[in-house]
Amino acid sequence: MCGIVGYIGPQPAAPLLLRGLEKLEYRGYDSAGLAVREDDKLRVIKTVGRLQDLRDILEHTAAPRGTLGIGHTRWATHGRPSDENAHPHTDCSGRIAVVHNGIIENYKELREWLVEDGHTFKSETDTETVAHLIESFYEGDLVAAVRKTIKRLEGSYALGVIHLDEPEVLVAARQDSPLIVGLGEGENFLASDIPAVLEHTRKVYILDDGEVARLTADKVEIIDATGSPVDKDVFEVAWDPVMAEKGGYDHFMIKEIYEQPKAVRDTLKGRVAEGRVVLDDVDLDSETAKKIKKIYITAAGTAYHAGLVGKYVIEKLARIPVEVDLSSEFRYRDLMIDEDCLTVVISQSGETADTLASLREAKRRGSRILAITNVVGSSVSRETHDVIYTWAGPEIAVASTKAYLTQLVSLYLLALYLAQERGTIDQGQLKAYLDSLQELPQGIQAVLDSEQTIAELAQEFKEKEDIFFIGRGLDYAVAMEGSLKLKEISYIHAEAYAAGELKHGTLALIVEGVPVFALATQTRLRDKMVSNMKEVKARDATIITVANRGDESIKEASDRVIYIPETEELFRPVLAVVPLQLFAYHAALARGCDVDKPRNLAKSVTVE
């Protein structure tokens, strides 16, 4: 969610901080600010609203000239969006400035203690507590004060701290919230995500929980929770910073939709060899795979919808019972998990708070953990036993598209791998599935080539305030994702229903002219699906069907038909969701919505 940047070096900090925050806008925010050391004072400039509002303020009040600073984009957790609640926050004297991602769970008790001790607060936030704690503990050594402070904190945090008395030092600390250090030449950077520093360096340190970093222009020192020095490996960022730009497209979302053929191709690359699945970061041999009695899949949002597809596919191919749960629910259940279970956690960022907590709970109960994530070095990837990386590259738009497709492909690879190791599939079947899997990028491109038709459809229905999605089996999982995409960015009320449940109440919502997307790609369920479509059509709804190419008779029960190329039935969700992504994008565009930054939403949900 929130974005952190920090800089220390010879260059003016303010422009660098603003540029870094701009690269983190995809995370979602409601206010922005920065603090820069200028001569013998800290200049703090912050405002509710967008980065442009902050730039406007700086244009009308001379920008700070200092070369040490921190910046932040905030997504409100404690305290409404306001100038006062925006970061950075300062102590009583104004000599310490702090930016923070995460939630301090015991901030109320700490605040009460600090107020009794004479401290005055200016905001409603939990973060300001940190600034005052550091003030209380400061005795000439900022690292020591930060270390004493974090020992008092309960919850999650990524911190950037500067102090007027130490003009050559930037301090960072992390617990359950991502933070990286960018390594430059005679300058160093701090950020909550890699895109903020790629313009300046590809070399980064990825901080681990409990670590504190001391940055100067020429040096970075890291210590662990015990105070011992950490000799950390440099992580070399492989992807091109240009990938994080729009590349000529009007929005990141449409760019990322069009990147899906490549993203799927990259996710498959090197993982299919000689008719077998090869997963280098998965150490599940045949004996271990055969011992798995049950699989739990847990995720949130779009990743959860991918998990629903995964359930169908793993059960069919690997013959293992699978249970799928929202991570925000999973972590609070009385779970019947043991060493014979495999828990699969799915998170694009690898930092989703509930998913990370679910991982830790399942691990505590003895389960083996396998993660599917897009971010190398993320918390999820480091805490799991096995990992399948979705090589989607950076995804900037809040509404996930290419990450979702690569999660589906990763689940297909996992299902086929387990089937291969457990012996539940013969070599001929395995090769046929893998051949079909490798043809998916061409199929996705074929759907993308029909964009103009889908754009015209979105224009036709842009004034509608209710749109429904129905499907059976794998199509129901796709319907859920299509519904989510539409309401996320167009603000049209959209709901997905299992088509077989229509007569159990949903038909009451079907009135004349209401659009209903009908997913009808599953061959063995096709006839039942057509019956459900006719029920809806009888209530004078407008039926837009997503069907397999060649299914001409489906037109009789439809008002419009969007055809997808023929592929293996299990893999049709990959193709069927693409027209729904395009429809959501063009509906949002037609309604004048902010496609890449939908209201009230954030890209990476790092708090509960």
pLDDT (0 to 100) of residue 362: 94
Of the CA atoms within 13 Å of residue 564, those in its CB half-sphere come to 25
Instruction: Verify that 165 and 118 share a domain, yes or no.
Output: yes
H-type alpha helices, 96-182: 107-116, 127-137, 142-150
Q: Among 128-132, 324-328, 395-399, which stretch is predicted with the lowest mean pLDDT?
A: 395-399
Q: What is the pLDDT, as a whole number, of residue 503? A: 76
- Let me know if residue 596 belongs to a domain: no
Residues spanned by the domain of 89: 3-237
Nearest to 381 by CA among 396, 370, 366: 370
List the structure tokens of 557: 């029960």
Rounded percentage of the chain residues whose pLDDT exceeds 70: 97
pLDDT at 65 over 60: yes
Whether 546 maps to a domain, the answer reads: yes
Residues 19 and 162 in one domain: yes
393 token code pair: 């590259």
Q: Is residue 181 domain-shared with residue 273, that is, in the same domain?
A: no
Q: What pLDDT sits at residue 549? A: 95
- Asked if residues 564 and 519 have their Cβ atoms less than 8 Å apart, the reply is no
Please, which residues have CB within 8 angstroms of residue 205's CB and are 6 or more apart in sequence? 180, 181, 183, 213, 220, 222, 232, 234, 235
- List the beta bridge partners of residue 174: 158
| pLDDT computed for residue 128 by the predictor | 97
Three state DSSP letters for 448-463 = HCCHHHHHHHHHHCCC
Report, as an integer, the average pLDDT of 419-444: 96
Residues 276 and 407: their CA atoms lie apart, in Å, by: 19
State the chain's mean pLDDT as an integer: 92
The total number of residues written for the chain in this structure: 608
pLDDT for residue 269: 86
Is a pLDDT exceeding 70 seen at residue 143?
Answer: yes
Task: Give the domain-ending residue among 408, 438, 468.
Answer: 438
pLDDT in tens, 465-517: 999 999 999 999 999 999 999 999 999 999 999 988 777 777 778 888 899 99
Lowest-pLDDT range of 112-121, 479-488, 522-531, 565-574: 522-531
CATH label of the domain that carries residue 103: 3.60.20.10
Catalytic residue flag (residue 363)? no
Instruction: State yes or no: pLDDT of 246 exceeds 80.
Output: no
Region 257-282 average pLDDT: 91
* Percent of the chain with pLDDT strictly greater than 90: 78
pLDDT of residue 72: 97
Which residue type does 123 have?
A: S
In which band, very low, low, confident or very high, does the pLDDT at 78 lie, cut at 50, 70 and 90? confident
State the CATH number of the domain containing residue 328.
3.40.50.10490
| Cα–Cα distance measured from residue 350 to residue 361, given in angstroms and rounded to the nearest whole number | 16
Q: What is the arithmetic mean of pLDDT over 137-162?
A: 96
Backbone angles phi, psi at 238, to 5 degrees: -90, -30
Q: Which of 46, 311, 485, 603 is catalytic?
A: 603
Q: Are 20 and 114 in a shared domain?
A: yes
Q: Which residue has the higher pLDDT, 189 or 78?
A: 189
User: Does 264 share its domain with 397?
Assistant: yes
Contact 560, 518 (CB under 8 A): no
Number of domains in the chain: 3
H/E element, 161 = strand 157-163
Q: What are phi and psi of 246, to 5 degrees?
A: -75, -20
Residues 543, 505: one domain? Answer: yes
Nearest Cα to Cα of residue 354 among 384, 323, 325, 392? 325
Between residues 204 and 379, the one the model is more confident about: 204
Q: Which residue has the higher pLDDT, 510 or 232?
A: 232
Kindly state the average pLDDT of the residues 542-556. Answer: 94
pLDDT at 144: 97
Claim to verify: residue 402 and residue 325 sit in the same structural domain: yes
Can you say whether the dihedral through the CA atoms of 194, 200, 205, 207 is positive or negative?
negative
The three-class DSSP label of residue 262 is helix
Catalytic-role residue among 2, 255, 537, 593: 2
Q: Is the pLDDT of residue 202 over 70?
A: yes
Contact 579, 454 (CB under 8 A): yes
pLDDT for the residue 536: 87
> In the prediction, which pLDDT does 417 show?
97
Residue 603 domain flag: no
Query: How many contiguous H segments (helices) and E segments (strands) does the chain have?
Result: 19, 26
Which pLDDT band, with edges at 50, 70 and 90, does 245 fall under? low
What pLDDT does residue 602 have? 66
Residue 244 lies in a domain: no
Can you give the pLDDT at residue 306?
97
Mean pLDDT to the nearest integer, 395-420? 95
pLDDT-derived band at 577 (thresholds 50, 70, 90) equals: very high
Interval 39-49: pLDDT, tens:
889 999 999 99
pLDDT higher than threshold 80 for residue 603: no
The question of whether 2 is a catalytic residue gets the answer yes
d(CA 549, CA 546): 9
pTM: 0.76
pLDDT at position 240, please?
A: 66
Residue 197 in contact with residue 16, Cβ under 8 Å? no
CA distance linking residue 251 with residue 120, whole number of Å: 44
Alpha helix (H) ranges present in 176-269?
A: 252-258, 260-268
